[in-house]
């Protein structure tokens, strides 16, 4: 049976990938040690998802830490007919990284290097997919154009950005990233390098806001999921700067994984792609709050804070022209309203 290794298998993208590829007849080896509960507390634990995945007939779970190459080597040697590695395991928070820089680096940078070395040494024919982030662009999106302000959002004055979004040609250098953005940038670049230098079948996907009903959103990470949760529970939501008018594109985990599948069928070694909701699925925080109310009748109790997060974007919408040109059969099935309805 053809096999896929999925790191972060109980997380948002990982669990979606497990279910997708299991339904396509693959054996799945999932790697996840529930680090989210360590990073963000019990409310962020992915153990609930693990109990679901263990019911899948061809799912094997390994609770190991990707920052240990020895543990990975000891557990992964001898796997037969490995076709792909989907590397989604990560420490995903700006704020957490700032106070835990070693653990952030070990997970996001060293962990990615370890997975690439395992691939190069033992599974050189496997496709390797890395989930990067738009945070590798740092705060450059804030500085490459002026912005206009409406009642509900900021928009760039640059008509090319406004029409199409931000593409992969934007530099990732000479800007403020947050430590999280830097550790992910290492993973991003080293994944590209293993494709270009060693010839591995690597693909790097720079995600906008990846989201969906399986997202364990918390205060420090997962804005749309956590915002909906606050609306449903009455918990207060704190908006960090920009008057709540900062814009994000949101893409459903199902659409992300179907993009991975297209890459798997026709890999282009060393390539990098922006992946996000694009023009189909984007909003400011204020607009998301209003949409949640329109759909659910629930008001979000929120407070505006003056100071934005370090390196945070005023406006970011992904330009996915490159990916769509390379993979014209990919179809984006979720818009913002469908995503929020499913979460509610």
* CATH number (domain holding residue 216): 3.40.50.720
Q: How far apart are CA 155 and CA 206, in angstroms?
A: 21
How high is the pLDDT of residue 61? 97
The alpha-helical segments, DSSP class H, found in 237-331 are 253-265, 285-296, 321-326
Total H helices, total E strands in the chain: 15, 15
How high is the pLDDT of residue 215? 73
How high is the pLDDT of residue 216? 66
How far apart, in Å, are the Cα atoms of 291 and each of 252, 285, 344?
A: 17, 10, 11
How high is the pLDDT of residue 311? 78
C-beta separation of 97 from 104 below 8 A: yes
Q: How many domains does the chain have?
A: 1
How high is the pLDDT of residue 220? 57
Parent domain of 55: 3-343
How far apart, in Å, are the Cα atoms of 134 and each of 126, 295, 328, 330?
A: 25, 29, 22, 20
Q: Which residues of the chain have pLDDT under 70?
A: 216-222
């Amino acid at each position: 049976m053809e096999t896929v290794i999925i790191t972060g298998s109980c997380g948002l993208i990982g669990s979606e990938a497990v279910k997708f590829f299991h339904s396509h007849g693959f054996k799945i080896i999932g790697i996840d040690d529930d680090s989210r509960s360590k990073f963000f507390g019990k409310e962020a634990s992915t153990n609930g998802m693990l109990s679901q995945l263990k019911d899948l007939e061809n799912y094997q779970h390994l609770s190991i830490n990707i920052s240990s190459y020895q543990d990975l080597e000891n557990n992964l040697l001898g796997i037969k007919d490995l076709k792909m590695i989907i590397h989604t395991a990560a420490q995903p928070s700006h704020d957490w990284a700032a106070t835990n820089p070693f653990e952030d680096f070990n997970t996001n940078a060293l962990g990615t290097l370890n997975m690439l070395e395992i691939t190069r040494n033992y599974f050189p024919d496997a496709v390797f997919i890395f989930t990067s982030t738009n945070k590798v662009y740092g705060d450059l999106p804030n500085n490459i154009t002026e912005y206009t302000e409406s009642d509900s959002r900021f928009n760039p004055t640059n008509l090319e950005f406004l029409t199409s979004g931000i593409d992969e040609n934007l530099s990732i250098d000479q800007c403020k990233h947050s430590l999280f953005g830097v550790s992910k940038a290492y993973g991003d670049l080293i994944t590209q390098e293993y494709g270009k230098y060693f010839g591995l079948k690597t693909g790097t996907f720079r995600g906008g806001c990846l989201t969906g009903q399986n997202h364990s959103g918390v205060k420090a990470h997962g804005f749309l999921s956590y915002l909906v949760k606050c609306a449903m529970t009455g918990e207060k939501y704190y908006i960090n700067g920009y008057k709540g008018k900062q814009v994000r594109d949101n893409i459903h985990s199902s659409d992300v994984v179907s993009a991975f599948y297209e890459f798997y069928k026709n890999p282009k070694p060393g390539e990098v792609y922006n992946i996000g909701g694009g023009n189909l699925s984007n909003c400011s925080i204020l607009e998301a709050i209003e949409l949640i109310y329109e759909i659910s009748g629930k008001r979000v109790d929120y407070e505006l804070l003056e100071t934005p997060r370090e390196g945070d974007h005023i406006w970011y919408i992904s330009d996915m022209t490159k990916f769509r040109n390379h993979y014209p059969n990919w179809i984006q099935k979720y818009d913002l309203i469908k995503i929020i309805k499913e979460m509610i």
